[in-house]
Amino acid sequence: MGPFSDIAQSQDMFVELQATGYVRYEDLPLRTISGAKIDVEFVCNAYDCEGTKVIQCNIREIGERKAALAIIERQTKHYSALSHCNKAIVYCTREDELFQQVCRVAVQFGGMTMAWIGMIDADTRQVRPVARYGDAAEFIENIDISIDSDRPIGRGPTGTAIRASQPVWCQDFLNDPLTASWHERAANAGVAAAASLPLHRNGVVIGAFILYSGTLDAFDQTARDLLEEMASDICFALDNFDREVQARRAEEQLLAAEEKFRGLVEQPLTGILIIQDGQLIYANPRCAEIVDQGSVEALIGSDPLQWVIEAERAQVAENLRRLYDGAAQSVAFDFGVLRLDGATIQIGTNAARATHDGRPAIIGMVQDISEKKRDEEKIRRHVAQLKTALMSTVEVATIISEMRDPYTAGHERRVAEIAVAIGAELGFDTARLEGLHVAGHLHDIGKITIPAEILAKPGGNSRQARQNQLDRVPADSRPCTGELRCTEGGGFPLAGCAGGPTAP
């Protein structure tokens, strides 16, 4: 083999030896008499030995050295592939970009014939290629790989690696019965060995990283360790991508929530503010418009008590203190504010205890209730006027009744005073006491319709005379005959009234 199998090259070598006295081949393939091929180092030296040309040949077998160098070369490539894989992880921002770079690195720097990444299709339970690189790309064209162990195409290296969540090494692909489904296409692609390493996202297997080599027994322990580390780094990157996706989603949701919040709190209907450490740390535009203390920027950092009129400042401060101290979770109160234009307005607020940046705060909603207060005052005055008019009418009716029946003058007033006193003792509210007062004054109002000659007649009237007079009075205005008291507590005897029942 080598120069010895090529006469012309051997002649050239001999000429060089005669001219220089030295020829050396560091790696020369030779075949022994038995037909075995060996690698040797071949060195020739030419000497002049007492006028005679002597050629000395030294031949040393270097097979073990070459094997060791091959191992070192493979390890160097694997380390280089791992290094470039980590660079890709650092610089890639998308999953698909990372997958393609990892496959390229495994072939260009790792010495693989081909590399690809397959992801599990949950619907078909097949492994679908999502990235690939290498000369034997036709090998995975329409490749059929399942993750189900009950199918032959699911019992190969990739399906087994995914199910077991462990790397699978196939050192002799063409003679492994578990890879029989792909022997033909592997032979055409020059595949001699294969490795399948599961890929995880957040601890769940989602696919596999598959590598092919054209060399038998290509995956020694060192290669396995490096490729497992590479797969682990890919999984780490996938977890980071997922965290970034979740973070972006959370950020988008937060931005949407903030936008929604701003749409709510910055609408022109209600003023909203947040107080912390005695200072205003947030106010919406409506709040600034209501209190008229300048722009929103001017309000931030100010003491909200400075808006409040002096007469009500202490009470407002006490309400805020109760919220800060947790004595109350929410309070509702009104207070006056002196605006920059000199006008005093009434503010209604609902405030609640809250937390901002991990510390106590107060969030409040404020509204200008000046118009409401003015309307309430108008209604109050109108009600007072109606009440005065009513009582004046009652007084007139009482005076008329007394004028028609001077014998009972003052009776209605005394009944009213006694009824109100009894009601107060029973705990009646103001409205019911006022009702008793009016009823006391008007309880004898029916006398107005009775002829004065009957009411003022000295002495008594006969029964017949009283009945004749009573018949002339409308039924609904007739007074009850008999005594209006019932000492046994059974009610009022109404036997003389229309219908004649006893009132309870």
Provide the pLDDT for residue 352. 92
Task: List the one residue out of 182, 161, 176 whose CA is nearest residue 228.
Answer: 161
Provide the pLDDT for residue 465. 65
Provide the pLDDT for residue 386. 79
Q: At what angle do helices 370-404 and 411-425 cross, to 10 degrees?
A: 140
Provide the pLDDT for residue 460. 62
Contacts of 220 (CB under 8 A, 6+ apart): 71, 74
Distance CA 24, CA 37 (A): 19
Provide the pLDDT for residue 473. 60
Task: List the one residue out of 279, 273, 270, 209 whose CA is nearest residue 237.
Answer: 209
Distance CA 242, CA 428 (A): 70
pLDDT tens column, 41-81: 888 888 878 778 888 888 888 777 777 777 777 777 777 77
Written as one string, the DSSP assignment of 213-251 is ESSTT---HHHHHHHHHHHHHHHHHHHHHHHHHHHHHHH
Provide the pLDDT for residue 472. 65
Pairing status of strand 279-283 against strand 344-356: unpaired
Residue with tokens 């947030």: 282
Distance CA 93, CA 88 (A): 9
Task: List the one residue out of 207, 220, 211, 204 whose CA is nearest residue 85.
Answer: 211
Distance CA 206, CA 234 (A): 12
Provide the pLDDT for residue 24. 81
Provide the pLDDT for residue 125. 93
What does the CA dihedral 320, 325, 329, 335 come to, rounded to 10 degrees? -10
Provide the pLDDT for residue 76. 73
Q: How far apart are the first and last CA of the chain?
A: 139
Low-confidence ranges of the chain (pLDDT < 70): 1-10, 136-137, 261-268, 293-294, 404-405, 407, 449-504
Query: What are the C-alpha distances in Å from 17 to residues 23, 28, 54, 59, 498?
Result: 6, 17, 11, 16, 159
**Other CB atoms within 10 A of residue 360 CB:** 15
SS (H, E, C) 403-444: HHCHHHCCHHHHHHHHHHHHHHHCCCCHHHHHHHHHHHHHCC
Q: Which domains does the chain possess?
A: 2-61 (no CATH), 73-244 (3.30.450.40), 271-368 (3.30.450.20), 374-473 (no CATH)
**For 501, phi and psi rounded to 5 degrees?**
-80, 170
